[in-house]
C-alpha cells in the first residue's frame, strides 16, 4: 500500500471530493485526520472509513480559523505520531452578480479558500520541516481559476491565487523536501453540485469528454500528486476537467 506509515489531514472531507480523497488515502494505508465544519458529517465520514478498516479520526471545526488549524495539526501528530500529507480541500463557492456582490460573501470566500489554505500550509510545513523527512501538500483549485465563469469572480480569484501560492512556495518548501501542488477540478458531481438537476445534462453537453468529473477522477489526480514517489513534482497545477478549459463554453 502506497501510503502505509503516512499520516494525512484532509479538510472539508465530510462529503464530496474531500471525503473521496480521505477514503482512498485510508484504503491505501494512510492514517487520516478528517476535518469538516459539520460535526455530524465529519463523524459519519470517519465512521464509514473506519468501517472499511481504515485508520481515521474525525476532527470537526472551522478550517478558516488559524488557532483551530494549529490545534488540528497538533492533534494529528499526537494521535498518529507524524504528518506527511495535507490536502487543503475545504473551499466555499458563493455565486453572485459582480455588481451586487456583498463584502460579507467576499470575506467568507477569502477566509476559507485563501486564509485557511495559507495557514494550513504554513502550520503543516513547519511540522514537516521539524520532522526532517519531507512531505506533500495539495491545494484545491478549480478550472475557474483558469477560465471565466459567470457569477464566480471572487471564488475564481481565490483559486488562481492558490495556484500561485503553490508556485511561490517551491522556494520555501523544496529545501525541506516538501512538495506543494494544486489540483484544479472541472465540474464535478458531488452532493452539492447535484442539488441542481440540470448539472449533469449541461456539463455533459459542454465537456469534450461528454460528462462532468466524478469524485474518483479528482481523487486519482490528488493521490498521484501527494504520493511519496511524486515528490519531485512541485509548484504545479493539474487540471482535471474532461477537456473543458481547452474549449470553455459557458454553462448556459
Ligand atoms: N464540486 C466541484 O464541481 C468543484 C469544482 C472545482 C473545485 N472544487 C473545489 O473542491 C473542493 C471540494 O469541493 P466539493 O464540491 O467536494 O465540496 P462541498 O461544497 O461539497 O463541501 C465539502 C465540505 O466542506 C465543508 N466545509 C465548508 N466550510 C468549511 C470550513 N470552514 N471548514 C471545514 N469544512 C468546511 C462542508 O461542510 C462540506 O462537507 C472545494 O475547494 C471546491 O472549491 C469543487
Q: What integer best gives the mean pLDDT of the chain?
A: 97
Query: Residue 93 is part of a domain; what is its CATH number?
Result: 3.40.50.720
Is 112's C-beta closer than 6 angstroms to any atom of ligand 1? yes
Strand partners, 180: 137
With respect to residue 178, please indicate whether it lies within any of the assigned structural domains. yes
Q: Is the CB of 88 under 6 A from ligand 1?
A: no
The Cα angle at residue 190 between residues 187 and 194, in degrees rounded to 5: 85
Q: Ligand 1 mean position to 16 CA, how many Å?
A: 7
Beta bridge partners of 55: 31
Q: Is the confidence at residue 229, as pLDDT, over 80?
A: yes
Q: Is the pLDDT of residue 37 over 80?
A: yes
Task: Indicate if the pLDDT at residue 112 is higher than 90.
Answer: yes
pLDDT higher for 10 or 2?
A: 10
What was the pLDDT predicted at 236?
98
Predicted pLDDT of residue 238? 98
Distance, CA of 60 to CA of 13 (rounded, Å): 10
Please list, in sequence order, all residues whose beta carbon lies within 8 angstroms of the beta carbon of residue 11, skipping any fewer than 6 positions away: 18, 35, 36, 63, 87, 88, 89, 90, 116, 120
Q: Is 142 a catalytic residue?
A: yes
Q: Is residue 251 part of a domain?
A: no
CA of 89 to the centre of ligand 1 (A): 7
Structural domains of the chain, count: 1
pLDDT at position 27 is: 98
Task: Give the confidence band of 251 by pLDDT, cuts at 50, 70, 90.
Answer: confident
Please tell me the distance between residue 78's alpha carbon and the centre of ligand 1 in angstroms.
26
Is the shortest distance between the CB of 200 and ligand 1 below 6 Å?
no
- The pLDDT > 90 percentage for the chain reads 95
The answer to whether the pTM exceeds 0.95 is: yes
| 57 inside domain | yes
**Which residue's alpha carbon is nearest to atom 26 within ligand 1?**
12
Asked if residue 249 has pLDDT above 90, the reply is no
pLDDT tens-digit profile of 40-82? 999 999 999 999 999 999 999 999 999 999 999 999 999 999 9
> Residue 252 falls within a domain, yes or no?
no
Domain interval for residue 76? 7-241
pLDDT (average), residues 171-178: 98
140 CB near ligand 1 (under 6 Å): yes
Task: Give domain status of residue 110, yes or no.
Answer: yes
What pLDDT score was predicted for residue 252? 72
Cβ atoms 154, 112 nearer than 8 A = no
Of 64, 117, 136, 159, the active-site residue reads 159
User: Is 2 part of any domain?
Assistant: no
Residue 168 within any structural domain of the chain: yes
Q: 229 in a domain, yes or no? A: yes
Amino acid at each position: 500500500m502506497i501510503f502505509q506509515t503516512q499520516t494525512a489531514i484532509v479538510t472539508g472531507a465530510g462529503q464530496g471530493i474531500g471525503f473521496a480523497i480521505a477514503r482512498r488515502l485510508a484504503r491505501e494505508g494512510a492514517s487520516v485526520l478528517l476535518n469538516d465544519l459539520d460535526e455530524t458529517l465529519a463523524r459519519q465520514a470517519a465512521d464509514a472509513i473506519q468501517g472499511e478498516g481504515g485508520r481515521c479520526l474525525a476532527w470537526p471545526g472551522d478550517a478558516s480559523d488559524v488557532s483551530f488549524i494549529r490545534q488540528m495539526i497538533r492533534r494529528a501528530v499526537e494521535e498518529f505520531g507524524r504528518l506527511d500529507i495535507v490536502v487543503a480541500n475545504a473551499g466555499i463557492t458563493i455565486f453572485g452578480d459582480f455588481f451586487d456582490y456583498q463584502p460579507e460573501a467576499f470575506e467568507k470566500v477569502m477566509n476559507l479558500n485563501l486564509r485557511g489554505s495559507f495557514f494550513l500550509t504554513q502550520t503543516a510545513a513547519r511540522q514537516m520541516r521539524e520532522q526532517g523527512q519531507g512531505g506533500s501538500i495539495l491545494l484545491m483549485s478549480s478550472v475557474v481559476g483558469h477560465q471565466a465563469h459567470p457569477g464566480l469572480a471572487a471564488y475564481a480569484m481565490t483559486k488562481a491565487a492558490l495556484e500561485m501560492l503553490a508556485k511561490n512556495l517551491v522556494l520555501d518548501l523544496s529545501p525541506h523536501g516538501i512538495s506543494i501542488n494544486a489540483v484544479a477540478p472541472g465540474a464535478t458531481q458531488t452532493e452539492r453540485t447535484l442539488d441542481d438537476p440540470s448539472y449533469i445534462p449541461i456539463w455533459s453537453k459542454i465537456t469534450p469528454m461528454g460528462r462532468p468529473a466524478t469524485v474518483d477522477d479528482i481523487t486519482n489526480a490528488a493521490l498521484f500528486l501527494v504520493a511519496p514517489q511524486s515528490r519531485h513534482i512541485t509548484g504545479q497545477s493539474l487540471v482535471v476537467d474532461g477537456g473543458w478549459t481547452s474549449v470553455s463554453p459557458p454553462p448556459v
